[in-house]
Structure 1
Amino acid sequence: MLTLDDTDRAILRALSQDATLSAGALGRQLGLSQPATWRRIKALTESGALAGRRLILDHAALGFGVTVFLGITLATKGRVSLEDFERAVSAIPEVQTVQHVLGHYDYRLRVVARDLPDFERVLRRRIMTLPGVGNVDANVLLSEDRRPGPL
């Protein structure tokens, strides 16, 4: 397991709030030099603790007003490989996340659409036609109060 000190945790916390911070700006914020900050960011990246930086899009502002969580149960687990299903579902642009889960469903998907008729089109024409899809359970997102952030 990776051992992090207080400075490493402060760097991760700051970058999780604003991943666009430069090493110089981050160093000034934390009282470190730019080279020392850069070396720590590099070490965190090489260790796997920092696995990349993401841009968070505002789906509603971009015209995607509906988010639906789908629980997918595969009908024929033995006939269709999980990799085939994952590859096919990952190719659908409206599918934002694909999670292989243990429990009632085999997969959990986060799907965005412009509106409910658009979601119905994606569901009928793209998701229900995927290899091995059996049962599908949908939950429409009403609101979201917290986005993923620092641990």
Structure 2
Amino acid sequence: MHSLDDIDRRLLRLLQEEAGLPVTELAERAGVSAGACWRRIEKMERARVILGRAIDIDPRALGYEVRVFLRVVLDKAASHAFDDFLAAARALPEVIAIETLLGRVDIRMDVVARDLAHYQEIYRDRILALPHIAEIDALMLVSELKNSARLPI
């Protein structure tokens, strides 16, 4: 674990709120010089505390009105079931997240679709064609009340 001081934590909080802040404004808000701010950010990037910067895109603004969470149990008797499944699932552009889990469920995936008919097409033609599925369960998102990747720094 990388050792962080109060200024590093302040910078991380500010970057979590608004990743695109210019260094000069970030430095001003953090109460440090622009040079010190830049050096601290570079140090945290080298230490892999900061893995990158991202933008948030509203899927609905691009026509994706449906989001479904799939819970998948794999046929673990098949050799390379995880590797085969993950390689095929990663190739589906509508699958926006894949997570492996411990417990009864092996994989959790997030799938986006334009509407229910589009989701049914994705599910029937592509999801069910993925290798080594023993069970699959779908949960459709109704409303999102909180979605934050921000850490309590």
Q: What is the root-mean-square deviation of aligned Cα atoms in Å? A: 1.2
Shift of 1:84: 2.1
The 2-side partners of 1:77 and 1:20 are apart by 47
TM-score (norm 2): 0.93
Q: Distance in 2 between matches of 1:6 and 1:142?
A: 39
What is the SS of the residue equivalent to 1:138?
Answer: strand
Partner AA of 2:68 in structure 1: V
2:151 is aligned to 150
Partner of 1:98: 98
Q: Which residue of 2 aligns with 1:47?
A: 47
Separation in 1, partners of 2:84, 2:22: 40
Q: CA deviation at 1:10?
A: 0.8
1:79 matched residue in structure 2: 79
**1:49-88 deviations in Å (ceiling 9; x for gaps):** 1011112110111110111000011124433342221121
TM-score, with normalisation over the residues of structure 1?
0.94
Give the distance between the partners of 2:85 and 2:137, measured in 1 at CA: 17
The aligned runs of 1:1-151 (5 Å cut-off) are 1-148=1-148, 149-151=150-152
Contact 1:89 1:95 in 2 (8 A): yes
CA 1:117/1:24 → structure 2, altered by over 3 Å: closer, same or farther? same
Q: Distance in 1 between matches of 2:77 and 2:34?
A: 52
Unaligned runs of 5+ in 2: none
**Is the 2:64–2:114 Cα contact (8 Å) retained in structure 1?**
yes
Once the two structures are overlaid, the 10-residue window that deviates more, 135-144 or 80-89, is: 80-89
Give % identity: 38
Q: Does the CA-based 8 Å contact 1:12-1:150 persist in structure 2? A: no
Within 1, Cα distance between the matches of 2:57 and 2:27?
27
